[in-house]
Amino acid sequence: YFNKVTDCGCFGDAVKLTPWESFTKDVVLLVLILLLFYGKKYIQPVFIAKTSMAILLVSLLACVLFVNQVINHLPSIDFRPYKLGANISEGMSVPADAPKAIFEYAWTFDVDGERTTIVTQGEYPTVDGEFIEVETKEIQKGYEPPIHDFTIEEAGVDMAKQLLSEDNLVMVIAYDLAKSNFKVFQEVKDVTDRAISKGYKVIGMSASNEEWSTPVIDEYGLGFPFYFTDETTLKTIVRSNPGVLVLERGTIKQKVHYNDMDELLFLN
């Protein structure tokens, strides 16, 4: 029941806090709130009422405009491992000197009618008895690369390594085709046709099966196949549904929301 939540999600990937760091933050904020609450009679407004109202309205408008911007385009700052300039292959690699996970194995045997448990670091114990069960417990977490759940599957075969080695690769990402904005797929076709004419390899990536991808390909005349990738992974890459990425040998060079596909540049 312990150590199930390893970091606080208050600030996402922007600021990662352990549960104890998050608790400390809350205690500090509580103290500050108490100071404000008990000292409220000493707090005087800096501006007159009209000025304060104007500041409030301007702040509200700025918040609405900012939210609209990041919903209909991409976030102003990308804290995820798939940000511009990131190399996906490198993000999946594990350094040779990286710490490895250490597991503890609790082997249970029936020895002369009694249950006996022997704990090892993995090796099978030499016991004169009948094996019953083994329980595994991770006692030291190993290194986990920033990108650890990325695959590009075709018929159950992971094609990620091969595709990420392409000199020029365009990824059309639609994490759920059932929820995609189909109004923009004609523009997706135009953009990807232009990329193909420039010599780019183009692929689609979705968590939807062929029952969804095949009709979309046929209806819009798309010149590329769809591969399977986990939906959560695709949402991590880009929230836009669909969204488009341009890569050079695994490095993300361009990433756009479907509202910004006209900004894509394809070089000969």
Closest CA to 237 of 162, 160, 168: 160
Write out the two tokens for 9: 């999600």
Task: Please report the pLDDT score of residue 140 as a whole number.
Answer: 85
Predicted confidence (pLDDT) at residue 15 exceeds the cutoff of 70: yes
Tally Cβ neighbours within 10 Å of residue 88.
Answer: 24
Mark whether 126 and 175 lie in a shared domain: no
What's the domain range around 219?
Answer: 148-263
Strands 157-158, 153-154: parallel, antiparallel or unpaired by DSSP? antiparallel
> CA of 261: how far to CAs of 117, 178, 183, 243, 244, in Å?
61, 21, 13, 8, 7
Mark whether 127 and 224 lie in a shared domain: no
Q: Is the residue at 224 inside a domain?
A: yes
Q: Is the residue at 91 inside a domain?
A: no
Strands 102-111, 201-206: parallel, antiparallel or unpaired by DSSP? unpaired
Closest CA to 226 of 146, 154, 169: 154
Q: Each residue of 163-218: pLDDT tens digit?
A: 999 999 999 999 999 999 999 999 999 999 999 999 999 999 999 999 999 999 99
Average pLDDT over residues 89-101: 91
List phi, psi (to 5°) of 140: -145, 120
> CA of 191: how far to CAs of 53, 67, 166, 265, in Å?
46, 27, 19, 10
Mark whether 54 and 30 lie in a shared domain: yes
The total number of structural domains in the chain stands at 3
